[in-house]
């Protein structure tokens, strides 16, 4: 079965985002417990847990806080980022939320052109 390249890109991003979320939770839990693990062991845990989830469950990035038609945007330090809802690519660092979401909106429109 040949997969749509857009679907493959999204599926790859879902794996990256799942691994990022698992890594973040492991780091938070270890930090709260005042414990540490070597980085290679943390990554083995991330990849092992992610592989088990992906093997047994249907997984997609579908955050409850992003309503249909809205753009997911967030701030890290002084920069804003926004995520394309189609391929899940993140915007470059932007100085404002508006600039980040504008990037994502413009980027998403290119996907619509690809399918028209
Ligand atoms: Zn995209």
Residues 7, 12, 13, 17: is their CA dihedral positive or negative?
Answer: positive
The predicted pLDDT at position 115 comes to: 65
- Distance CA(56)–CA(19), nearest Å, equals 15
* Average pLDDT value for the chain: 93
Cα–ligand 1 centroid distance for 37 (angstroms): 35
pLDDT of res. 68: 86
pLDDT band at 92 (very low <50, low <70, confident <90, very high): very high
**Choice among 31-45, 59-73, 94-108 with the minimum mean pLDDT:** 59-73
Return the SS3 of 19.
Answer: helix
46 touches 22 (CB < 8 A): yes
End-to-end CA, the chain = 23
Average pLDDT over residues 33-61: 97
Ligand 1 midpoint to CA 107 (Å): 6
* C-alpha 34 to ligand 1 mean position (Å): 39
How long a stretch of residues is the chain? 116
Tens digit of pLDDT for each residue in 22-31? 999 999 999 9
């Amino acid at each position: 079965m040949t997969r749509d390249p857009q679907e493959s890109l999204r599926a790859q991003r879902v794996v990256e985002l799942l691994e990022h979320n698992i890594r973040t939770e492991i780091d938070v839990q270890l930090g709260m417990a005042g414990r540490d693990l070597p980085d290679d062991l943390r990554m083995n845990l991330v990849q092992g847990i992610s592989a088990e989830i992906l093997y047994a469950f249907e997984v997609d990035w579908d955050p409850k806080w992003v309503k249909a038609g809205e753009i997911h945007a967030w701030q890290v330090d002084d920069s804003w980022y926004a995520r394309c809802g189609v391929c899940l690519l993140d915007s470059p660092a932007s100085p404002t939320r508006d600039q980040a979401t504008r990037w994502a909106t413009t980027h998403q429109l290119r996907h619509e052109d690809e399918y028209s």
